[in-house]
Each structure stands twice: as structure tokens, then as C-alpha cells.
Structure 1
Amino acid sequence: MVVVIVVMVIGMVVVMVVVWAMTTMMVMEMIMVVLVVIVMVMLVLAVMVMEMALMVVLVVMVVVMVMKLMVVLIVKVMVVVMELVVMVMLKVALEIRW
């Protein structure tokens, strides 16, 4: 039982790191990953004895992955919007100059 939990936690951390590496390396992302890992470890330690540990870990994994994807999507959208704004501003500035 304990071995299964440990393996799942390690797998979880690996997945998190991979997803994080695929996205932009941002401070917020780093902080979030660290926090998530800490919370995971605390949860697992808190319920190590019970069968419920597996369920908790699975639920937390799903929630975390969804949150992660949401954050990534929001960041990506914000970056695109910023780029568009900058492009428009540059275009306007150039037109004013000419």
C-alpha cells in the first residue's frame, strides 16, 4: 500500500515537472508546482495509514492537473493579447511618425 502511494507521488511529480517544462518557465508556475508538491506530501503523510490515501491522491492529481491547464491557458491567452496590443500600438506609432 505504502509503495503504491510513493510510486504514485513520484509519478505525479514527474508529470507536473514535464507539464511545467512544456509551458513557459514562469515564477508563478514554479511557486505553484512547489506548493502543489508540498500539499501532496502533507496529504499523503496525513492519510498514509488509511485506504482513502489512494482516492485522495487521485482526486488531488486530477484537480491539480485541471488547475495547471487552466493557468497555462490563461497565461497563453494573456501573452497573445499582449502581443496584439503591442503590434497595434507599434502600427499606430509608425503611422503617426509617417
Structure 2
Amino acid sequence: MHTTRMASVLIGLVAAGMLVLGAGQAAAAESGIGQPVPAGYTTRIPAAAADEVYGPYEFQSECLSAGNQGMDDGRWSDYECNGSYGAWYLHPSYD
């Protein structure tokens, strides 16, 4: 009897997990995440944005984290963090 109850709970959890994954995939498809980029579409950022500087960040790790997040979000293609404790500045590049 105990084994049957455990099996029922396990099946319920698997079914719930499949429902959640299905809803997540539907949301991703609706938002365009993971979809191919149409021909002629570019994500290149205008050159006018090349002079942007972000900061100051107190710690270098905060600057690096912000730089990586910007790359992940497609806001810039690369970056540098320059400065020292209490005054780290993020310099994105858009090449």
C-alpha cells in the first residue's frame, strides 16, 4: 500500500512537471525567445551609443556582472571595466 501511494505521488509530480514545462515552452514561443532571426534583421546598436559609460560600481565584481548581463541581453557585444575600489566604470563596445 505504501509503495502504491509513493507511485501515485511520483506520477503526480511528473505530470505537474510536464505541465509546467509545457507552459514555459508556450510562453517562450509566444515571446519569440529561441526563434530564428528573420533575414535582414540586425541587432547592431547605433554608433551614437558607443560613448556610453556606466557606473560607478563599488566593486569590480559588480561591474563585471553588469557587463556580462548586458552581453547576455544583447545590449553590447563586449565591455571593459576600468577603475579601482569604489569607482569601477563599465565601458561597453558595440562591434
Q: Same fold (TM over 0.5)?
A: no
Of Structure 1 and Structure 2, which has the larger fraction of its residues in helix?
Answer: 1
Instruction: Kindly indicate whether structure 1 or structure 2 has the higher relative contact order, using CA contacts under 8 Å at least 6 residues apart.
Output: 1
The TM tier, using the shorter chain, reads 0.3 to 0.5
Tell me which structure has the larger Cα radius of gyration: 2
Q: TM-score, normalised by structure 1?
A: 0.33
Of Structure 1 and Structure 2, which has the larger fraction of its residues in strand?
Answer: 2
